Amino acid sequence: MPETNVVLFAEADGTCPLLQLLDGLPSKVQDKCIVRVERLAEMGHELRRPEADFLKDGIYELRASHHGIHYRILYFFYGGTAVISHGLVKEKAVPSREIELAISRKAIYADDPEKHTYRE
C-alpha cells in the first residue's frame, strides 16, 4: 500500500492549529501524537480503531492517550491527501463544536488547498 501524503491545515495567517496544541503538551504526549500521524501516513484510509476512528461528515480522529488523558487529532481526506485540522484534549466525547470546526476547515481547505497547507 502506498503511503498517504499527510499535510497540516494552516489558518489564513499561516498559523497551524495542530502545532499550537502540540507545543503546549508534554514531550511524551507529543511523541505519541506524532506516532499516530506517522501511522496515518503509512495506512491512510485503512487506519482503524484503536488508532483512528470515523466521526461524521468525512471527519476522522487519531486517538492517543497518556496517563488516562485522551488526545484527539481531527483530520479529513482531500483527494489522496490526509489533512490534519487540529487537535484537542478529550473529556467524554469529542465535542460537536470541534467536529463542526473540522468540517468548516475541510470546506476552507477545498476552496484553496495551497493557501491552507502549512509550510515551515
Return d(Cα 33, Cα 15) in angstroms, integer. 19
Inside any domain, residue 66 = yes
Q: Which residues contact 25 (CB under 8 A, 6 or more apart)?
A: 33, 71
Mean pLDDT in residue range 24-44? 96
Read off the CATH number of the domain in which 27 is found.
Answer: 3.30.2310.20
Inside any domain, residue 10 = yes
Inside any domain, residue 118 = no
Considering only CA atoms, which of 112, 46, 33 is closest in space to residue 74? 33
Inside any domain, residue 120 = no
Inside any domain, residue 75 = yes
Q: Is the pLDDT of residue 1 over 70?
A: no
Asked if 119 contacts 15 with a C-beta cutoff of 8 angstroms, the reply is no
**Alpha carbon 72 to its chain's center:** 8
Q: Is the pLDDT of residue 110 over 70?
A: yes
Domains held by the chain: number: 1
Inside any domain, residue 95 = yes
Mean pLDDT in residue range 86-105? 95
Inside any domain, residue 39 = yes
| Planar angle of CA 29, 75, 22, nearest 5 degrees | 25
Which domain, by its residues, includes 52?
5-111
pLDDT in tens, 44-72: 999 999 999 999 999 999 999 999 999 99
